[in-house]
Amino acid sequence: MRKEQVKMSLKNTKTWSRVLVPVLLLCCVSYYYSHFFLQSLPCKTCMVVGNGFAIKNTSLGSAINKYDIVIRLNDAPVRGYEADVGNKTTMRLFYPESASYNPSIHNDPDTLMVLVPFKQQDVRWLKEILYNEKRIRKGFWKPPPEIWLGKTSHIRILDPYFLQQTASRMLHLPLNTPPKTNQIPAHPTTGILAIYVALNYCDVIHIAGFGYPESKDLKHPIHYYGYDTMKSMKNSYHNLSHEVKALKRLEDSGAVVYLHPHS
Ligand SMILES: *[C@@H]1O[C@H](CO)[C@@H](O)[C@H](O)[C@H]1NC(C)=O
Ligand SMILES: *[C@@H]1O[C@H](CO)[C@@H](O)[C@H](O)[C@H]1NC(C)=O
Ligand SMILES: *[C@@H]1O[C@H](CO)[C@@H](O)[C@H](O)[C@H]1NC(C)=O
């Protein structure tokens, strides 16, 4: 009986080694190749330009233009603000309500326009434009452009997985509100989402124009352009305290670096 068992286990070892050796070899080979491949990839430096008032008068424009990848958000303008925000745009994250009618004004000819599908209607909006279908206006908090001049070849749609991960893993937002309330769950700002995307693809992530005014003054401007004030954030679907905490964690761990002093 014992002998049988020993024989059995020996037989097992033999089978195992028949499986294990090739697997180990394969691992070594793939490790070698991925290592080799990674070393041949250039280090990607990324700059996420937030739309915050904090970037005003920083003169960061020429520094921003030097990054391999410059990510901008929503309809933030570039022309007229070059000294502070630069004029290079590798990709711009936006959603229908934050789309500007003619993307060529404040972007480069080859800027990738990345639609963030926050809600079902957002993809429908793009489809209606691309196929020139009847525009359905329902479901937007602000009328999106009915004509949009984005170049078809430069449109991308962000995988909604990034949105889900930003909300749950980075911001720890509850993904469901208590039942029987009409409350809509808070969702990430485009800015924090852009940082999450950058964390997945970039070797170096620098940011500017993030954060909200410290002042409790509801009339304080929030963007480096236009006239939006803190008041406009009061009823937004964002949870700024979660975002402030997440940004602080990222900064403290060295994952992101601010290009300017900030509160
Ligand atoms: C920016 O600089 C201009 C010109 O020097 C000045 O008038 C303005 O108050 C400054 N704005 C901020 C926010 O510092
Ligand atoms: C940015 O500005 C510089 C200097 O004015 C100019 O040479 C360059 O073409 C501009 N780039 C873009 C993408 O607008
Ligand atoms: C943000 O989240 C905190 C903690 O989870 C919560 O107490 C607060 O009510 C939320 N604020 C908004 C505006 O949703």
- Per residue in 85-107, pLDDT (tens digit) is 999 999 999 999 999 999 999 99
Domain-embedded: residue 29: yes
Structure-derived torsion over alpha carbons of residues 55, 160, 70, 77, reported in degrees to the nearest 10: -50
> How many angstroms does the Cα of residue 87 sit away from the middle of ligand 2?
6
Judge if the beta carbon of residue 87 lies within 6 A of ligand 2: yes
Domain-embedded: residue 220: yes
Q: How far is CA 80 from the centre of its chain?
A: 25
Could you tell me whether strands 69-73 and 257-258 are parallel, antiparallel, or unpaired per DSSP bridges?
unpaired
Q: Which of 192, 203, 122, 199 is nearest to 157 (CA)?
A: 122
Domain-embedded: residue 263: no
Instruction: Kindly report the pTM of this predicted structure.
Output: 0.83
The domain tally of the chain equals 1
Tell me if 189 sits within 8 A of 242, measured CB to CB: no
Q: Which of 210, 201, 221 is nearest to 257 (CA)?
A: 210
Domain-embedded: residue 108: yes
Per-residue pLDDT at 9: 46
Domain-embedded: residue 96: yes
Per-residue pLDDT at 6: 43
> How many angstroms does the Cα of residue 82 sit away from the middle of ligand 2?
9
**Amino acid residing at 258:** Y
Q: Which domain holds residue 92?
A: 3-258
Domain-embedded: residue 103: yes
Judge if the beta carbon of residue 235 lies within 6 A of ligand 3: no
Ligand 1, CB within 6 Å, residue ranges = 56-57
Tell me if 191 sits within 8 A of 241, measured CB to CB: no
Q: Counting ligands in written order, which one lies closest to the CA of residue 220?
A: 1
> How many angstroms does the Cα of residue 88 sit away from the middle of ligand 2?
7
DSSP 53: G
Judge if the beta carbon of residue 90 lies within 6 A of ligand 2: no
Domain-embedded: residue 101: yes
Q: How far is CA 3 from the centre of its chain?
A: 63
Q: Counting ligands in written order, which one lies closest to the CA of residue 213?
A: 1
Tell me if 58 sits within 8 A of 84, measured CB to CB: yes
Judge if the beta carbon of residue 88 lies within 6 A of ligand 2: yes
Domain-embedded: residue 216: yes
Per-residue pLDDT at 39: 55
Distance in angstroms (rounded) separating the CA atoms of residues 31 and 220: 53
CATH number of the domain to which 148 belongs: 3.90.1480.20
In this prediction, the residues of the chain whose per-residue pLDDT falls under 70 are: 1-41, 180-182, 215, 235
Protein residue with least CA distance to atom 9, ligand 3: 239
Rg of the chain on CA atoms, in Å: 24
Judge if the beta carbon of residue 239 lies within 6 A of ligand 3: yes
Protein residue with least CA distance to atom 2, ligand 2: 87
> How many angstroms does the Cα of residue 239 sit away from the middle of ligand 3?
6
Could you tell me whether strands 91-94 and 155-157 are parallel, antiparallel, or unpaired per DSSP bridges?
unpaired
Per-residue pLDDT at 211: 84
Strand partners, 112: 91
Mutation pick for ligand 2 pocket among 87, 107, 108 (CB with most ligand atoms within 8 Å): 87
Distance in angstroms (rounded) separating the CA atoms of residues 66 and 80: 19
